[in-house]
Amino acid sequence: MAELQTATFAGGCFWCMVHPFDTYPGVVEVTSGYTGGTTEYPTYEEVCSHTTGHREAVQIRFDPDVITYEQLLDIFWRQIDPTDAGGQFYDRGSSYQTAIYYHSDAQREAAESSRQALDASGRFPKPIVTEILPAQPFYRAEAYHQDYYKSNPGHYNRYRRASGRDQFIALHWDHPHA
């Protein structure tokens, strides 16, 4: 096994960002948490108050010999609305804004390249606004948020459907585009 690497993505509600990555070989761990803010060890309530500067995010430990960072970027883009600067789906506010937090120059370059390619693809009628930022301290969310899709599948599935995320993904990724 190669030395594990870390990827960090903010894609709105972290509950919806774990399962898509969790299913791939080479992904060793997906952790829900908070990053990008100024408060040390913020709580869920503090982050939701939009006063700490944090975003809900997932941090992924992966084996680059099995799954590449570029593959993780592709999975990330397919989970979000990269044109929405105000949050994601019905979750509004700064804690739900999208971002890619890079851990190396190579990750930054790959993220910038993937964002440019997606923007140029014409898949979305509006420009891509997802930020690419240097990794910052990542704080693990409370235990009840970890693997929420496994521990609360009924609520998780209702939430995903009601949020509009699945409909957006189906519209923009499951149908052919120019």
Structural domains of the chain sorted by starting position, each given as residue range(s) with its CATH number in brackets: 5-173 (3.30.1060.10)
Spatial distance between the Cα atoms of 177 and 171, rounded to a whole number of angstroms: 10
Q: Could you report the per-residue pLDDT of 128-174, keeping only the tens digit for each?
A: 999 999 999 999 999 999 999 999 999 999 998 899 999 999 988 87
**Looking at the predicted structure, is the pLDDT value of residue 35 above 90?**
yes
Q: Find the catalytic residue in 7, 10, 13, 60.
A: 13
Task: Provide the pLDDT for residue 173.
Answer: 86
Share of the chain above pLDDT 70, in %: 97
Whether 13 is catalytic: yes
Beta strands in the chain (DSSP E): 5-11, 27-35, 55-62, 87-88, 91-92, 98-102, 131-134, 138-140
Q: Could you report the per-residue pLDDT of 77-107, keeping only the tens digit for each?
A: 999 999 999 999 999 999 999 999 999 999 9
Spatial distance between the Cα atoms of 98 and 114, rounded to a whole number of angstroms: 15
**Looking at the predicted structure, is the pLDDT value of residue 36 above 90?**
yes
Strand order in the sheet with 27-35: 131-134, 98-102, 5-11, 55-62, 27-35, 138-140
Task: Provide the pLDDT for residue 17.
Answer: 96
